């Protein structure tokens, strides 16, 4: 049996991942702050699919509450799939943002998925199998569209996924970055905004189902709303074409005085 740990499992993307993975026969470890929601979901999944479901209530920003999750990622039965979904947004721009709020966002969106991946990756490499799914955002590629630091945190998560994939894929470990666009979840309301003014919102079930198609295809980056895979391929080709100039030992002629 495969055992999957899903963070932010009490609502939105995390809840749908839990349901879809349970339907595939995965045992689950569900992590979030909302104990009642987690227990309700766990009961639903046990009854519907006969899978084993563990519940860990934790505010992952708090190091003391995070520790049991890290311990579970290192323990047995081994975690075969980590879904790094827990995250948050922050309304407004950088200039007016409070330092404490930015610190919290950086911890949840950057530090937490890094530490969770670190806790599980050694065992996966040793076993020669395992998967990590990092839920990033299309704003990782369009920071100009998002004031403040949210896009930067998701850019980090995309870059971490790409770097980690290059390191561990030769050892049988698969890493996927999922880049949703606007998706109907609670993140907008929790950040103090509303999704009502956002155009072209994807339903969360559609988002996760598409992400799992990309997972089954072993895509390194999955962007569910983008119609043509060739668009991403062209983006990657342009990136590597740019990289050809990085090894020059002298400044390009256009920068010489």
pLDDT tens digit sequence for 86-108: 999 998 999 999 999 999 999 99
pLDDT tens profile 50-61? 999 999 999 999
pLDDT of 192 reads: 62
3-state secondary structure of 246: coil
Cα 94 to Cα 69: distance, rounded to the nearest angstrom: 31
pLDDT of 66 reads: 98
pLDDT of 236 reads: 97
pLDDT of 194 reads: 67
Whose tokens are 């999922």? That residue is: 178
Average model confidence (pLDDT) across the chain: 95
Q: Is 160 left (phi over 0), alpha (psi -120 to 50) or beta?
A: alpha
From the candidates 17, 150, 156, 188, give the one annotated as an active-site residue: 150
pLDDT of 209 reads: 98
> Hey, what domains does the chain have and what are their CATH numbers?
3-230 (3.40.50.720)
Whose tokens are 């790094």? That residue is: 84
Low-confidence residues of the chain: pLDDT under 50: none
Element at 13 (helix H, strand E)? helix 12-23
Residues of the chain with pLDDT > 90: what percent?
91
Cα 252 to Cα 250: distance, rounded to the nearest angstrom: 6
Give the list of residues 6+ apart from residue 153 with CB closer than 8 angstroms, or none: 87, 105, 106, 109, 110
Residue 99, token pair as written in the block: 């330092």
Cα 178 to Cα 135: distance, rounded to the nearest angstrom: 5
Give the list of residues 6+ apart from residue 115 with CB closer than 8 angstroms, or none: 66, 70
Q: Is 150 assigned a catalytic role?
A: yes
């Amino acid at each position: 049996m495969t055992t999957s740990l899903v963070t932010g499992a009490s609502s939105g993307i995390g809840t749908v991942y839990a349901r879809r993975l349970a339907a595939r026969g995965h045992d689950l470890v569900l992590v979030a702050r909302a104990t009642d929601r987690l227990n309700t979901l766990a009961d639903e999944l046990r009854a519907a699919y006969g899978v084993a479901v563990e519940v860990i209530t934790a505010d992952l920003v708090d190091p003391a509450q995070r520790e049991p999750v890290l311990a579970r990622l290192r323990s047995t039965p081994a975690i075969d799939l980590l879904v790094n979904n827990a995250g948050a947004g922050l309304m407004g721009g950088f200039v007016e943002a409070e330092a404490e709020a930015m610190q919290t966002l950086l911890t949840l969106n950057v530090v937490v998925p890094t530490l969770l991946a670190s806790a599980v990756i050694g065992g996966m490499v040793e076993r020669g199998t395992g998967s990590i799914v990092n839920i990033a955002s299309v704003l990782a590629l369009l920071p100009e569209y998002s004031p403040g630091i949210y896009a930067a945190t998701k850019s980090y998560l995309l870059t971490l996924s790409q770097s980690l994939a290059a390191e561990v894929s030769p050892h049988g470990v698969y890493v996927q970055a999922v880049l949703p666009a606007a998706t109907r979840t609670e993140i907008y309301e929790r950040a103090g905004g509303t999704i009502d003014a956002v155009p072209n919102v994807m339903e969360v079930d559609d988002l996760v189902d598409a992400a799992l198609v990309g997972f089954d295809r072993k895509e390194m980056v999955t962007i569910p709303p983008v119609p043509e895979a060739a668009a991403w391929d062209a983006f990657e080709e342009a990136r590597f074409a740019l990289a050809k100039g990085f090894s020059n030992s002298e400044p390009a002629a256009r920068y010489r005085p």
